[in-house]
Chain A
Amino acid sequence: MKKIIAVLTLVASLSANTLPALAATPSELRQVWLDAKQVRLDADAEYRQAQLDYKKDKTPENDQRVIDTAKTVLNDALDEAEAWLKWKRLEADENPRVPADLKSNVDNDVDANLAKIDGFRTDVAGIENRLQVAVVFLKIVGGHTSLLTDVARNSGAMWVYIGEQLASKVSDYETKLRTAAADMSDNTEALAKLDVVKNELAAANKKIALAKTAYEKVRLPGTPLRKFAEANAYLRQAKTNLINAQVQLNHVFSLITSQ
């Protein structure tokens, strides 16, 4: 009986740790990434302070603090990258609009890069002096970008795909409402609003195309994460245009259905 209780306790304990991970949603994993980013930024501030203290007073204690804080910030950077990759994978997996080949690309890239992170962790664990800090730091700064580049490019392709679908839906709704507005006794206001929709849609399509071009340039060598940020900015502008268009569609729908 004691053995049974022990086995059940063990299983319950293991499940308590694994079930929350199974039940995570993309937005929860995004929050895990944002938290990890903040932890890394805090650790980075401590590392910079340790470097300043060492410059002022080159004691063995300050030397050791530089090494310890560097190891912490490097591990935190790897945690951050790992959290981002896991979020991206779940975001792609759980989105019904993402085509299977894109999901598969993201999945493979994430697996490959999580394995690379394990290798970097071994490098960090082996740091014993400030020279090794510099060597490993350079290796990981370069490696960090390469860890994220492929997944960033594929995520961008996914967002562009979704953006194009939504823009197409706005266009479809605009056509339907314009057809219905043609039969209205007074359609001046409705047609003016539908013209606004057309303009917003044209602007959104232009931004989505610019985002697509920029995402395709998320590659090494170069500055892929800056290209990624540039593409994201285009996509956020497209989102604003499409939301403006939806507001106008809503007005026109009310005008037509209230007549």
Chain B
Amino acid sequence: MKRTIFFGGVAISLLALLGAGCAKSSTPKTTDEKAAVETAAPSADGVMEETAEATSTDAAEGEVAGKNETGLTQQDLDALKADLQSMQADDVPELAN
């Protein structure tokens, strides 16, 4: 009986870990959601500094090349497009209709 409980506990722990992994990493996402996740960084002020730094670096490289004095990158504009396209507002039908 003790062995049963032990193995059962081990199995539950493993499956819980597996479940958490599925929920976090292998969840299938739509293109919009992927875009929203990927593009959330530059739009969320200070939330993900790494991406913000990467954007600044890209801009700096552009400036060095003399091509980009805007302080923006094409990725910034693409990210904005994805964010805008992911805006949703679905109506709820009334039962009485």
Contacts and interface: CB of A to CB of B under 8 A. Distances in A.
B64 interface: no
Interface in A172-229: 173, 176-177, 179-180, 183, 223, 225-226, 228-229
A70 interface: no
| Count class of interface residues, chain B | 35 or more
| Count class of interface residues, chain A | 35 or more
B8 A246 contact: no
Interface in B39-97: 40, 43-44, 47, 62, 67-72, 74, 76-77, 80-81, 83-85, 87-96
A240 B33 CA distance: 19
B87 A235 contact: yes
Interface in B16-54: 18-20, 22-23, 26-30, 32-33, 36, 40, 43-44, 47
A201 B90 CA distance: 22
A66 interface: no
B44 A243 contact: no
B89 A253 contact: no
Contacts of A159: 87-89
Contacts of A180: 69-71
Contact of A23 (B4, B26, B91, B93): B26
A28 B27 CA distance: 10
Of the candidates B28, B74, B95, the one having the most CB atoms from chain A within 10 angstroms of its own CB is B95
Contacts of B88: 159
A200 to B, nearest CB: 11
- Give the dominant DSSP class at A's interface: helix
Contacts of A26: 33
Of the candidates A170, A231, A249, the one having the most CB atoms from chain B within 10 angstroms of its own CB is A249
Interface of B: 1, 3-4, 7-8, 11-12, 15, 18-20, 22-23, 26-30, 32-33, 36, 40, 43-44, 47, 62, 67-72, 74, 76-77, 80-81, 83-85, 87-96
18 contacts: A7-B4, A7-B8, A12-B11, A15-B15, A25-B28, A27-B33, A159-B89, A165-B43, A173-B80, A177-B70, A180-B69, A228-B92, A229-B91, A229-B92, A242-B87, A243-B85, A253-B77, A257-B68
Interface of A: 3-4, 7-8, 11-12, 15, 18-19, 22-28, 30, 37, 77, 84, 95-97, 140-141, 144-145, 148, 152, 159, 162-163, 165-166, 169-170, 173, 176-177, 179-180, 183, 223, 225-226, 228-229, 231-233, 235-236, 239, 242-243, 246, 249-250, 253, 256-257
